[in-house]
Amino acid sequence: MSNAFFVAGTDTEVGKTVCSRAIIQSAVAAGVQVAGFKPVASGSQITPVGTRNTDALYLQDASNVELTYEEVNPYTLVEASSPHLSARKEDIAIEFDVIDSAFAHLKSKSEMVLVEGAGGWRVPVTDEIYLSDWVQRQKLPVILVVGVKLGCMSHAVLTAEAIERDGLEVVGWVANRINPGLDNYADVIKWLEDKLPGQKLGEIPYMPGITKRDLSSYIDFSLLASNDTSK
């Protein structure tokens, strides 16, 4: 099994955090020591204990490795906009060397690190570089989160194509039902199964309070456990 995976979304607000929590919970249930990692997070709140991002807190809570908030999320940005715009406004320079160091530290503390991206695949973190450039730098296998809604088939295929053009492998994907009223849901899933690279790891149904639930049963962790990117 690879010791790290990157979770990418077909867009923003497609449920990357929900699916990341589900994957972490399924790994924990399988007896794996796993750490969640959110390198860059925008849309955060200033609290008495420091600036905190809800998505990163969910990953910290799901992990079964003891982690400080700063270990999970080295770059915490307040403004809810593209990371490069938030960082510029807050006079923060996002540097890959800092993310590299934090990532290596988490790998040393765990058997697996699940890295959650920000926004879509080509989200910029500076005016010149994308977060996907860091994923290429680390040569991480990618798990694609598809927010199942109108238009998701095109978004999913285009994102998978971009990932593969970057020389990376889509090892699996998760369907997250964000529109409960979508017509032809089963047909959409079948089409995605036929067209997307990698295996379908699971389907997350639409439900209230989803971020507080145990979602481990919705992910087939054995499909990731059998993935060996060292070959």
Cβ neighbours, 10 Å, residue 130: 19
Per the annotation, the verdict on 38 as an active-site residue is yes
Please state whether beta strands 45-47 and 50-52 pair in parallel, antiparallel, or not at all (unpaired). Answer: antiparallel
* Chain-centroid distance, C-alpha 99: 15
- Contact indicator for 127, 84 with CB cutoff of 8 Å: yes
Of the candidates 38, 107, 109, 212, the residue annotated as catalytic is 38
Q: Say which amino acid occupies 2.
A: S
| Token digits of residue 142 | 């990618």
Residues whose CB is less than 8 angstroms from the CB of residue 40 and which lie 6 or more positions away in sequence, other chains included? 74, 75, 77, 83, 94, 99, 118, 125, 131
Q: How many CA atoms lie within 13 A of 227 on its CB side?
A: 22
Cα–Cα distance, 196 to 69 (Å, whole number): 34
Closest by Cα among 189, 36, 62, 43 to 116: 36
Closest by Cα among 171, 178, 229 to 206: 178
Phi, psi of 38, rounded to the nearest 5 degrees: -125, 90
Active site residues: 38
